[in-house]
Chains A and B, each alone.
Chain A
Amino acid sequence: DSGVTQTPKHLITATGQRVTLRCSPRSGDLSVYWYQQSLDQGLQFLIQYYNGEERAKGNILERFSAQQFPDLHSELNLSSLELGDSALYFCASSEGGRRGNSPLHFGNGTRLTVT
């Protein structure tokens, strides 16, 4: 158990809809990352937060947004969903310190299916 909690585990929704994915980081971790993994694809970095502030943006679409709350949990909002948004969405957390040796700890992912 990585200590990172993602909900829901599975999500099935229709095109054009909006969904919210939730993530609780490991206790003590300040940094939260979101990744998208499509079928047979690698991990596409979406966005990173550190202690409530956005730190880095990757290949995140304008239809997607995220935030990290004061209690450090994070939400990823996906709107105007398209079939191509079907993927496994991972949240990961790390201590986020400057030593550069903190591994990412991943949640079990949310599998999103857009029909």
Chain B
Amino acid sequence: AQKITQTQPGMFVQEKEAVTLDCTYDTSDQSYGLFWYKQPSSGEMIFLIYQGSYDEQNATEGRYSLNFQKARKSANLVISASQLGDSAMYFCAILGGTGNQFYFGTGTSLTVIP
């Protein structure tokens, strides 16, 4: 079974600063994928970034990077140069290796302060 834990229900960051959103996971699979999604107040779910369990490099997508520490089972999302439009809920998810099942954390609400 897979499990995702996001321990920060709410975070605040000053505009233009960087912020780290925490995510830890638990899995018995050797091969798995880790994903981050953004849900703005309008409700849609937006895919941000992916990290494979065998990827040696941390994933980056524009201002988003994933700080992957496999031994610690953590996959933290780093947003650099925060913008007001980054204010949203952020969900971490894990994809199991065999069943193609996605498990989501409870999310972190990020507020960017001008």
Residues in chain A within 8 A of chain B (CB atoms): 2, 31, 33, 35, 42-43, 45, 48, 50, 55-56, 88, 90, 92, 94, 96-98, 100-106, 108-109, 111
Docked complex Cα distance between A98 and B98 (Å) = 7
Across-interface contacts of B50 in A (CB, < 8 A):
101, 103
CB < 8 Å A-B pair total: 72
- In the complex, per-residue mask of B84-113: 1 if CB is within 8 Å of any chain A CB, else 0: 000000010101111111111111000000
Q: Which residues, 40 to 57 on B, are CB-close (under 8 Å) to A?
A: 43-47, 50, 52-53
Docked complex Cα distance between A77 and B54 (Å) = 39
Contact of B45 among A55, A90, A94 (CB under 8 A): A90
Contact of A42 among B35, B43, B46, B105 (CB under 8 A): B105
A106 with B103: CB separation less than 8 A = no
Across-interface contacts of B46 in A (CB, < 8 A):
106
Contact A108 to B101, CB < 8 A, known contacts A43-B91, A101-B33, A101-B50: no
- B7 near A: Cβ within 8 Å? no
A33 with B102: CB separation less than 8 A = yes
B99 with A55: CB separation less than 8 A = yes
Docked complex Cα distance between A100 and B99 (Å) = 9
- B64 near A: Cβ within 8 Å? no
Contact A100 to B97, CB < 8 A, known contacts A42-B91, A106-B45: yes
Q: Can you list 10 A-B pairs, Cβ within 8 angstroms, ordered by A? A: A45-B103, A50-B100, A55-B99, A56-B100, A56-B101, A90-B45, A100-B31, A100-B52, A104-B37, A106-B46
